[in-house]
Amino acid sequence: MRIASFTHKGLKKLYLDDNSRGVPPETADKLRKMFAWLDDMETPDELLSLTAWKPRMLKGDRHETWSLSVTRNRRLTFRIDIREAQIVDVNLEDYH
């Protein structure tokens, strides 16, 4: 799947330009790995094999949003548009 849209401007710079200025320095390498994996992913079910990144689908009003653990407090969140085979609304959120 390809990543089509970002909510977080720093993540967009990291993905498109490999410029890490907009993300916490300690997260840049892991985020690059996550982007590479998401780009190569073919189906959402593949996310469940990433146990180290603690994948989960959020609940409530965000029930279609996936979350991957970047650090103890930060999560990479995104939605998957199955029909278009793309990942959208990619964001880096601080859970605390």
Reading the block at residue 47, the tokens are: 């996310």
Reading the block at residue 96, the tokens are: 């605390």
- The domain ranges of the chain are 2-94
Q: Which CATH class is domain 2-94?
A: alpha beta
Q: Say what the pTM is.
A: 0.93
Shortest CA distance to 68 belongs to which of 96, 90, 43? 90
pLDDT at 96 over 90: no
| 2-36 tens-digit pLDDT | 999 999 999 999 999 999 999 999 999 999 999 99
